[in-house]
Chains A and B, each alone.
Chain A
Amino acid sequence: MISSLIFILIFFSAFGFFLFRVIKIRRNILLGTDAQLEGTVSQRIFTMLCVAFGQSKMTARPVAFFLHLFVYTAFLFTQIELLEIIIDGVSGGHRTIWHWIENSAIAITYTILINAIELLSILAFFATIAFISRRNIIRLARFQKPEMKGWPSLDANLILSGELFLILSIMLMNSADVALQHMGQSQSTGKFLISNLIAPVWQNTDSATLHILERVGWWGHLIGILGFMVYLPFSKHFHILLAFPNTFFTNQKSKGKFTNLAAVTSEVKLMLDPTLPPPDANAPLPKFGAKDVQHLTWKNLMDAYTCTECGRCTSVCPANLTGKKLSPRKIMMDTRDRLEEVGKNIDKHGKDYLDNKSLLDRISEEELWACTSCNACVQACPVNINPLEIILELRRDLVMEQSKAPSSLNAMFSNIENNAAPWQFSPMDRANWTQEMN
């Protein structure tokens, strides 16, 4: 009874906390401007099923793919066990689902499921160890870039340790339960292969201790999971949820297509044809490009919260690979961190508060001008994030709002304007090659 109450209290506070934070993130994402997204609903569902659910873009790196697959499927399956934990927690029962079905034809599915969870958990356990060593012992280059210093590395290690804790506690729970079953002290639930292998460890442990250990495992797992849920939306690990909407809302355009700014179109049309009616003088001046997060689209902002900080983008970026400062992952992390800052300002000072800072304080011109717009980062991202769009919007602000292009680019602009080519050639010489056709 008491334990049920404690359970309900802990469970609902954790869930409430999670929800509160998710609502904040949603509000922050919606600070963005409208997004022009191409594609049909069926294309979207297909993309989501392939990329998020099916992990299709992870296959580019087979080792990481399999390691991640173990953790991912273990996580998916464990949700079923979580359901039973919740039912047990509220009712004060033990393996309630098993009791519901133990005499029916589907009882075997319970045994199969728990076995699957155990097997996946063990695979996930070793995968997690591998992940920890890749980051901390092997020190893969993509996890050692400057933007990963401090919190991002700690975050990753915390999550990985949390996973180990979750797996260990579930194995503790199951193996203690199996040991008790062997003593006839707990109801048989069919054979759990992995716990059966571990159970002999408890040979010399008395049943009272085993009962306690089983509960420690149960509560440990529960608190682990709830802690995980509360922590999730503060971490890059939030991708496990956002990957789904984020891939669903992938812009289904050719990657080479950049948006045409509608505000520019009307101004240019007016320049080319002065007989057109002038724009409404009272209309607010349009903002060209993005200086801060609110000028980016909500999809750019969702991208930022979805980023797993995996660095696949940076590890294929031609600028980064040749030693330039640009790192597409950093672009996403800076966008997210700035958005968090803006969100906190809104919480503290109301929604119109300006702190005189911007995203451009975090992302330097040197980074922005190093991009070749090659789309390698976009292609590599396992959750369909587009760092290039943000880079372009920031460039647009530099050029159109602040006239801050590098001087060589300004020269290129004036060549195009005056000679209709990016170089200083006379337009009249454009067809000279036709005279050399023999």
Chain B
Amino acid sequence: MTQKNNSSTPIRIPTCAELATEGKTPDVLFWVGCAGSFDDRAKKVTKSFARILHHADINFAILGTEESCTGDPAKRAGNEFLFQMMALQNIQLLNAYHIKKIVTACPHCFNTLKNEYPELGGQYEVIHHSQFLLELIETGKIKVNGNSFRGKKITYHDPCYLGRANDVYEAPRDLIEKLDLEITEMKRSREKGFCCGAGGAQMFKEAEPGNKEVNIERAEEAMALSPDIIAVGCPFCNTMLTDGIKINEKQDKITVLDLAEMIAQANNL
């Protein structure tokens, strides 16, 4: 395997604005999202995914500092004004750059861009990074090395906005199987998947009074399988489960990994 991106040469990530000055448009826009841009844990996923895109020679770009929140948390919290303000501005920008295809590592951005933007004038082919990565492997654009995770026990947590909200259950699982791993499923998986507790703007507020945090309930369910890895496909699930594992002091035994990180690792990227 040729090692194009030798880790000593930094990879340059083009922005749509830069491409536009050369009269170019990217084949795919990588929508990074707020978590992927600012949250330290999610930024690692962003970088892994960008490395894979670069490694596979994809003609992609990001919006960079021009990207704004899709408006998802505002909408789920009932603030339709703010949502549509963000949406209409984003759509203006995306249309100005003639974007046709968007890939994102955040199921919330994915859902909003895919389902809620079209009526407002933003029609794009929107895919989740798990689907994109699977396609890259299936078309031979990237190869994966099953050795990286040999002997590891893995479970997969369905993000609500990828699974139930958009019926994407198989792509992440197929992707994991490409790594020669067999998933040990939690009892509540696929259609019955249990929320990590972050959706519907919960990420940004204290939980209502109750007897447990949702993320702890879910982390405990995953921990009961004693996996080495909990695979996730959402930056918010990632935070929630990582916290749930830490509270139970299991962080030395169990790692929460995003699908993109796993694929990058399997490529030594």
A contacts, CB < 8 Å to B:
60, 253-258, 260-261, 264-265, 267-269, 271-272, 288-289, 316, 318-319, 321-326, 366, 369-376, 378-379, 392, 395-400, 405-406, 408-409, 411-413, 416-417, 420-423, 425, 427-434, 436-438
Pair B111/A433 contact, Cβ less than 8 Å: no
Q: For the complex, would chain A's binding face be called helix, strand, loop or mixed by DSSP majority?
A: helix
A375 in contact with B208 given A267-B81, A321-B217, A430-B37 (CB within 8 Å): no
Pair B208/A325 contact, Cβ less than 8 Å: yes
- In the complex, the number of residue pairs spanning A and B with C-beta atoms less than 8 Å apart equals 228
B76-91 with Cβ < 8 A to chain A: 76-82, 84-86, 88-89
The interface size of chain B toward A, counting residues with CB under 8 Å, comes to 78
* Centre residue among A253, A269, A396, A437 by max chain B CB count within 10 A: A437
* Centre residue among A374, A405, A417 by max chain B CB count within 10 A: A374
Pair B73/A437 contact, Cβ less than 8 Å: no
- Please encode chain B, from 110 to 138, with 1 for each CB lying within 8 Å of some chain A CB and 0 for all others: 01001110011000000000000000000
User: Which of the candidate stretches B98-106, B149-157, B175-183, B189-197 sits at the interface with the other chain?
Assistant: B189-197
Closest 7 CB pairs of A and B: A256-B165, A373-B200, A395-B78, A323-B211, A323-B210, A257-B115, A420-B68
Partner of B73, one of A268, A323, A412: A412
CB distance from A343 to the nearest CB of B (A): 27
B contacts, CB < 8 Å to A:
7-13, 15, 32, 34, 36-38, 43, 46-47, 50-51, 62, 64-65, 67-69, 71, 73-82, 84-86, 88-89, 92, 111, 114-116, 119-120, 160-161, 164-167, 191-195, 197-214, 217-218
Instruction: Report how far A316 CA is from B188 CA in the complex, Å.
Output: 10
Pair A253/B208 contact, Cβ less than 8 Å: no
| 12 cross-chain CB contacts under 8 A | A254-B114, A265-B88, A269-B88, A318-B214, A370-B207, A370-B208, A371-B200, A372-B195, A409-B205, A420-B69, A433-B43, A434-B50
Pair A421/B34 contact, Cβ less than 8 Å: yes
Residue of B nearest to A437 (CB): B11
Residue of B nearest to A421 (CB): B34
CB distance from A373 to the nearest CB of B (A): 3
* Residues of A close to B191: CB separation below 8 A: 379
Pair A430/B65 contact, Cβ less than 8 Å: yes
CB distance from A23 to the nearest CB of B (A): 35
* Residues of B close to A256: CB separation below 8 A: 111, 115, 161, 164-166
